[in-house]
Structure formats: C-alpha cells, structure tokens
Amino acid sequence: MSAGAIDYSKTKTFLIDTTKCTGCRGCQVACKQWNQLKAENTTFFTGEGYQNPPGMSEFTFTRVKFKDYQKHGQNEFAFYKEMCMHCNDPACASVCPVGAFEKTAEGPVVYHSKKCIGCRFCMVACPFGIPKYEWSKAFPLVKKCTGCYSRVKNGLDPACATACPTAITYGPRDEMIKEAEKRMSARPDRYVKVVYGKEEAGGTTVLYLTQQPLDELGFKPVTKRPLPSYTWQALRLVPGIFLTVGGTLSLITWFQHRKDRVRKEEEEQKNRKEGNQ
C-alpha cells in the first residue's frame, strides 16, 4: 500500500504511560531476544544517569531511560522507554535517496537493508536520533527498531509491548489517543496535559504520557510540522553533504560502487576461507 493511502488513525500505535513504568527493563530484554541482538559491555553509572547501556546502538533498539528529580522535597525516579517513533511522515524515508525506508500501512517504519547504500542521510534527518550505523562492519548499514513488523503483520503485538507488565498499551492510533485523553481527564493530578507524539513531527505511532514536564525528562522539543517538508533544505546545511542534483547522483553511484566492491571482497574472503578448510 502506498504512503498516500495509509489511514493514520488506524495504524498500530504504542501508548507508553511513563507513570506506570517500573523500570524493570523487560522491554529491553524482549527486544534483544526477539531481534537476536548481542549484549554490550555496560557500567552501572554512565554519567548521564542510571540507564544501561549508555546509548542506543546497532545492538540496542530500545532502552529505558532513568531520570531522577525532586518532588515535595523527595527524590523520585521517572522511567521511560526510548525507541523509533515510527513517524506518520518519516524524515528518514523522505531523505533516503534509494528508498530504503518505508512507512507501512500497519504503522511500523521498516528498513530494507538490500537497498541501503550506507550514505547516512537518514541519521542526519531523523529528529529523534534513532538510526544507528554498524560501525563494527566493513560495509556498515543502518540499524533501528523494526516496530516488530514481522509480528505485527501477522496479528501479534511487538515483543516489547507483549513483555511489558504495566506501561505499554498497543492498538489503533485513534483508540490510543482516546485512551490517553481519558487517563489525563480522570487523573489531572497524575499527568501533564500533553500527549507527546500526537503532533510532534507531524504525528508518530509512539505516544507518551508523563507526570513531569517533557523538557525535565529530556524529551526533545520537535516541530509539529511533518519534517519531510524541509529535510533536504536542512541536509544542504550539513558540512560535507552539500547536495545538488548532479552531486546527489554522483554520491549514490559512489556509494553503490563501494557497496558492490565490499560485497565482492567479502565473498572472495569467504571463498578463500572455505577453500582452506
């Protein structure tokens, strides 16, 4: 289904109620297991807070952030799960010169590694800093949360949503917005009156409810305008990526050649290894 035909009110959406998150990190573990992502070396205190690992990476598609704050003279913790926001109109997709990202009719924004040429424009364009590069590889591609598309298209909920005991509700976007508004009206003392993701970046399929003001929790202020309308303008200002139509085509050709060359070298190396056995 083309992006133009998507009914955004029905796309599958995460409602993450940070006031109910216990910081158990079951979602982090479930994501690692489902996606068979390797563990990373971590330390207890990272300097930024108590979250572990210290950042999202090619091996970590979601992470529970810990934020300590003071309320009525008491120390309190807030926890919230970071992940790809699966934007309605994704900047990563709009800027990719070879169409490696796709907004699906079900909701997740998926990545087609076979198309990717490793140019990293998506990493510059994403307002949430989500796509990560495979620095550990000879020909790095991009990694990010898949929205568990293989599960969702078969009628299952994402692995992290299934594992979460308290904080994640998953369902059609219009129902998740209604549910969020219902909770805010029922408990005005418990929630700040904002659903983060309802309008940010033109709307996303990950929504957050919080008890603290968003800036105190470290949520990025993001424009409400869909970002694809100006991602190319922004990219032109990035040093080293000054793009003209001719320049873009040359870059794509260069990246494609590099990709083919590295693949060929990898195949030759594999054949040599097999020949030695």
Annotation-wise, does 45 bind a ligand? no
- Judged by CB under 6 A, how many residues of this single chain contact ligand SF4? 43
Residue 172: phi, psi to the nearest 5?
-55, 145
Phi-psi region of 21 (alpha: psi -120 to 50; beta: other; left: phi over 0): beta
Q: How far is CA 27 from CA 22, 32, 35, 110, 170, in A?
A: 11, 9, 12, 19, 13
- Taking the complex as a whole, the smallest distance from the CB of residue 223 to ligand SF4 amounts, in Å, to 12
| C-beta of residue 109 within 8 angstroms of C-beta of residue 90 | yes
For 195, half-sphere exposure in the C-beta direction (CA atoms, 13 angstrom radius) is: 23
Q: Under the criterion CB under 6 A, does residue 95 sit at the interface with ligand SF4? A: no
* Closest CB to ligand SF4 among residues 34, 255: 34
Query: Residue holding tokens 């898949």?
Result: 146
Q: Under the criterion CB under 6 A, does residue 90 sit at the interface with ligand SF4? A: yes
* Closest CB to ligand SF4 among residues 72, 155: 155
Q: Under the criterion CB under 6 A, does residue 131 sit at the interface with ligand SF4? A: yes
List b or e across 239-271, with b for residues whose CB sees 16 or more CB atoms inside 10 angstroms.
eeeeeeeeebeebeeebeeeeeeeeeeeeeeee
* Site map (CB under 6 A) of ligand SF4, residues 103-122, x = contact: ------x-------------
* Site map (CB under 6 A) of ligand SF4, residues 60-79, x = contact: -xx-x--------------x
Which two tokens mark 245? 């139509």
Contact range with ligand SF4 by CB under 6 A, out of 50-58, 166-174, 248-256, 262-270: 166-174
Binding ligand SF4 (rule: CB under 6 A), the pick from 25, 63, 65, 67 is: 25
Dihedral (Cα; 154, 108, 113, 29), 10-degree rounding: -80
Which two tokens mark 161? 């949503």
Binding ligand SF4 (rule: CB under 6 A), the pick from 6, 8, 10, 35 is: 35
Distance CA 21, CA 80 (A): 7
Q: Which residues bind ligand SF4 (CB under 6 A)?
A: 21-27, 30-31, 34-35, 61-62, 64, 79, 81, 83-87, 90-92, 109, 126, 128, 130-131, 144-148, 158-160, 163-168
Annotated binding site for [4Fe-4S] cluster: 21, 24, 27, 31, 84, 87, 92, 96, 116, 119, 122, 126, 145, 148, 160, 164
